[in-house]
Structure 1
Amino acid sequence: MTDTDSLVADLRFAEPDNPYLRDPGTSFHPVDELDPETAREQAAVLRDAVREHDARYYTDADPLVSDAVYDTLFERLQTLEETFDLDREGSPTRRVGGETLDELDTVAHVTRMLSIQQSVDADEVREFDDRVHREVGDVSYVCEPKFDGLSVEVVYVDGVYTRAATRGDGDEGEDVTEQVRTIRSIPERLAGDPPGFLAVRGEVYVPRPAFREHNRERVERGEEPFANPRNLAAGTLRQLDVSAVADRPLDCYFYDVLGWRATAPATAEPFSEVEDDDSRPDTQRAETAALDRFGLRTVDRSEHVGEIDGALDYRDRLLDDREELDYEIDGVVIKVDDRAAREELGATSRAIRWAFAYKFPARREVTRVTDVVVQVGRTGRLTPVALLDPVDVGGVTVARASLHNPEQIAELGVGVGDRVRVKRAGDVIPQVTEVVDDGDDGHFEFPDTCPVCDSPAERDGPVAFCTGGLSCDAQVARTIQHYASRGGLDIEGLGEERVEQLREAGLLDNLPDLYRLPERRGALAGLGGWGETSADNLIAEVRASREPPLPEFLAGLGIHEVGEATARNLAREFGDFETFRSATVDELVAVDDVGETVARTIREFLDNPDNAAVIDELLGFVDPESVETDDDGDALAGLTFVFTGSLSEPRRVASDLVERHGGSATGSVSGNTDYLVAGENPGQSKRDDADSEDVPVVDEDGFADVLAERGVDWPPAE
Structure 2
Amino acid sequence: MSDADADTESNPYLRNPPTEFDPAEELAREDAERQAELLREAIREHDHRYYVEAEPLVSDAAYDALFSRLVALEGAFDLDTTNSPTNRVGGEPLDKLETVEHAAPMLSIDQSTEADDLREFDERVRREVGDVAYVCEPKFDGLSVEVVYEDGQFARAATRGDGQRGDDVSAQVKTIPTVPLSLRGDPPEHLAVRGEVYMPKPAFSDLNRQRVEAGEDPFANPRNAAAGTLRNLDPTVVADRPLAVFFYDILDASDTPETQRAALDRFRDWGLRVADDHVEFVDDVEGAIDYRDEMLDLRDDLDFEIDGTVIKVDSREAREQLGEKSRSVRWAFAYKFPARHEVTTVRDIVVQVGRTGRLTPVALLDPVDVGGVTVSRATLHNPDEIASLGVAVGDRVRVKRAGDVIPQVVDVVEDGGGTYEFPDECPVCGSQVDRDGPLAFCSGGLTCPAQREASIGHFAVKGAMDIDGLGGERVAQLVDAGLVENVADLYDLTVDDLVELEGWGETSAQNLVDAIEETKSPSLASFLVGLSIPEVGEATARALAREFGSIDEFPIDEDVAESRFDAFEDRLTTVPDVGETVAHRVRDFFENEDNRVVIRSLLDHGVDPEPVEDGGDELDGVTIVVTGTLQVSRSAVRELVESHGGNVTGSVSGNTDYLVVGGNPGQSKRDDADENAVPTLDEDEFAAFLAERGVSYPPE
What TM-score, normalized by structure 2, do the two folds share? Answer: 0.52
Tell me what 1:365 maps to. Answer: 342
Match for residue 224 of structure 1 among 206, 217, 237:
217
Q: List aligned pairs for 1:151-166, cutoff 5 A.
A: 151-166=144-159
Residue identity in the other structure for 2:331: W
Tell me what 1:94 maps to. Answer: 87
Match for residue 127 of structure 1 among 114, 120, 126:
120
State the alpha-carbon separation in 2 of the partners of residues 500 and 176 from structure 1: 31
State the alpha-carbon separation in 2 of the partners of residues 142 and 74 from structure 1: 39
Tell me what 1:480 maps to. Answer: none
Could you list the per-position Cα deviations for residues 26-76 of structure 1 after superposition, in whole angstroms to 9, with x for gaps in the alignment? 111111221111111110000000000110111111111121211111111
Change (3 A) 1:84 1:120: same
In 2, are the aligned partners of 1:21 and 1:49 still within 8 Å (CA)?
yes
Q: What's the CA shift for 1:174?
A: 0.9
DSSP-derived class of the 2:232 partner? coil
Q: List aligned pairs for 1:469-618, cutoff 5 A.
A: 497=477, 523=505, 526=508
Residue identity in the other structure for 2:307: D
Residue identity in the other structure for 2:293: D
Q: What's the CA shift for 1:527?
A: 5.5
List runs of 5+ in structure 1 lacking aligned partners: 1-9, 262-278, 368-383, 398-419, 431-494, 503-516, 532-718
In 2, are the aligned partners of 1:159 and 1:195 still within 8 Å (CA)?
yes
Change (3 A) 1:176 1:22: same
Task: Indicate yes or no: 2:36 matched with 1:54.
Answer: no
Could you list the per-position Cα deviations for residues 165-210 of structure 1 after superposition, in whole angstroms to 9, with x for gaps in the alignment? 1111111111111111111111111000001111100001111111
Tell me what 1:280 maps to. Answer: 256
Task: Indicate yes or no: 2:347 matched with 1:354.
Answer: no
Tell me what 1:174 maps to. Answer: 167
Tell me what 2:6 maps to. Answer: 14
Q: What's the CA shift for 1:163?
A: 0.9
State the alpha-carbon separation in 2 of the partners of residues 501 and 15 from structure 1: 60
State the alpha-carbon separation in 2 of the partners of residues 429 and 166 from structure 1: 28
State the alpha-carbon separation in 1 of the partners of residues 107 and 137 from structure 2: 17
Could you list the per-position Cα deviations for residues 251-302 of structure 1 after superposition, in whole angstroms to 9, with x for gaps in the alignment? 10100001111xxxxxxxxxxxxxxxxx421100001100110001111110
State the alpha-carbon separation in 2 of the partners of residues 102 and 172 from structure 1: 19
Task: Indicate yes or no: 2:249 matched with 1:252.
Answer: no
Q: What's the CA shift for 1:496?
A: 9.7
Task: Indicate yes or no: 2:311 matched with 1:328.
Answer: no
DSSP-derived class of the 2:332 partner? strand
Q: What's the CA shift for 1:390?
A: 3.4
Task: Indicate yes or no: 2:383 matched with 1:390.
Answer: no
Match for residue 199 of structure 1 among 192, 200, 206:
192
State the alpha-carbon separation in 2 of the partners of residues 429 and 298 from structure 1: 33
Q: What's the CA shift for 1:124?
A: 0.4
State the alpha-carbon separation in 2 of the partners of residues 386 and 214 from structure 1: 20
In 2, are the aligned partners of 1:393 and 1:423 still within 8 Å (CA)?
no
Tell me what 2:271 maps to. Answer: 295
Q: What's the CA shift for 1:315?
A: 0.5
Tell me what 1:82 maps to. Answer: 75
Tell me what 2:314 maps to. Answer: 337
State the alpha-carbon separation in 2 of the partners of residues 84 and 315 from structure 1: 54
In 2, are the aligned partners of 1:160 and 1:188 still within 8 Å (CA)?
yes
In 2, are the aligned partners of 1:113 and 1:170 still within 8 Å (CA)?
yes
DSSP-derived class of the 1:365 partner? strand
Q: List aligned pairs for 1:302-451, cutoff 5 A.
A: 302-365=279-342, 389-390=372-373, 396=379
Could you list the per-position Cα deviations for residues 557-606 of structure 1 after superposition, in whole angstroms to 9, with x for gaps in the alignment? xxxxxxxxxxxxxxxxxxxxxxxxxxxxxxxxxxxxxxxxxxxxxxxxxx
DSSP-derived class of the 2:233 partner? coil
Tell me what 1:266 maps to. Answer: none
Tell me what 1:35 maps to. Answer: 28
Could you list the per-position Cα deviations for residues 144-178 of structure 1 after superposition, in whole angstroms to 9, with x for gaps in the alignment? 00000110111000000001111111111111111
State the alpha-carbon separation in 2 of the partners of residues 287 and 180 from structure 1: 22
In 2, are the aligned partners of 1:13 and 1:49 still within 8 Å (CA)?
no
Residue identity in the other structure for 2:256: R
State the alpha-carbon separation in 2 of the partners of residues 195 and 496 from structure 1: 48
Residue identity in the other structure for 2:505: A
Q: What's the CA shift for 1:14?
A: 2.0
Change (3 A) 1:501 1:11: farther
Change (3 A) 1:527 1:216: farther
Could you list the per-position Cα deviations for residues 675-705 of structure 1 after superposition, in whole angstroms to 9, with x for gaps in the alignment? xxxxxxxxxxxxxxxxxxxxxxxxxxxxxxx
State the alpha-carbon separation in 1 of the partners of residues 54 and 170 from structure 2: 25
State the alpha-carbon separation in 2 of the partners of residues 169 and 241 from structure 1: 23
State the alpha-carbon separation in 2 of the partners of residues 104 and 64 from structure 1: 37
Tell me what 2:564 maps to. Answer: none
State the alpha-carbon separation in 2 of the partners of residues 321 and 500 from structure 1: 47
In 2, are the aligned partners of 1:56 and 1:62 still within 8 Å (CA)?
yes
Change (3 A) 1:522 1:175: closer
Residue identity in the other structure for 1:337: D
In 1, are the aligned partners of 2:39 and 2:66 still within 8 Å (CA)?
yes
State the alpha-carbon separation in 2 of the partners of residues 366 and 237 from structure 1: 34
Could you list the per-position Cα deviations for residues 223-278 of structure 1 after superposition, in whole angstroms to 9, with x for gaps in the alignment? 221111111111111111111111111110100001111xxxxxxxxxxxxxxxxx
Change (3 A) 1:158 1:348: same
Tell me what 2:202 maps to. Answer: 209
Residue identity in the other structure for 1:523: G
CA RMSD of aligned residues (A): 3.6
DSSP-derived class of the 1:195 partner? coil
State the alpha-carbon separation in 2 of the partners of residues 226 and 195 from structure 1: 39
In 2, are the aligned partners of 1:190 and 1:294 still within 8 Å (CA)?
yes
Change (3 A) 1:198 1:167: same
State the alpha-carbon separation in 2 of the partners of residues 392 and 65 from structure 1: 41
Tell me what 1:236 maps to. Answer: 229
In 2, are the aligned partners of 1:13 and 1:51 still within 8 Å (CA)?
no
DSSP-derived class of the 1:103 partner? coil
Q: What's the CA shift for 1:11?
A: 6.7
Change (3 A) 1:145 1:82: same
DSSP-derived class of the 1:223 partner? coil
What TM-score, normalized by structure 1, do the two folds share? Answer: 0.50
Tell me what 2:444 maps to. Answer: none
Change (3 A) 1:354 1:522: closer
- Give aligned pairs, total: 391
State the alpha-carbon separation in 1 of the partners of residues 267 and 55 from structure 2: 18
DSSP-derived class of the 1:12 partner? helix
Change (3 A) 1:422 1:338: closer
Q: What's the CA shift for 1:215?
A: 1.1
In 1, are the aligned partners of 2:8 and 2:15 still within 8 Å (CA)?
no
Q: What's the CA shift for 1:221?
A: 2.8
Change (3 A) 1:71 1:345: same
Could you list the per-position Cα deviations for residues 76-104 of structure 1 after superposition, in whole angstroms to 9, with x for gaps in the alignment? 10000000111111211111112111111
State the alpha-carbon separation in 2 of the partners of residues 210 and 366 from structure 1: 28
State the alpha-carbon separation in 1 of the partners of residues 165 and 342 from structure 2: 38
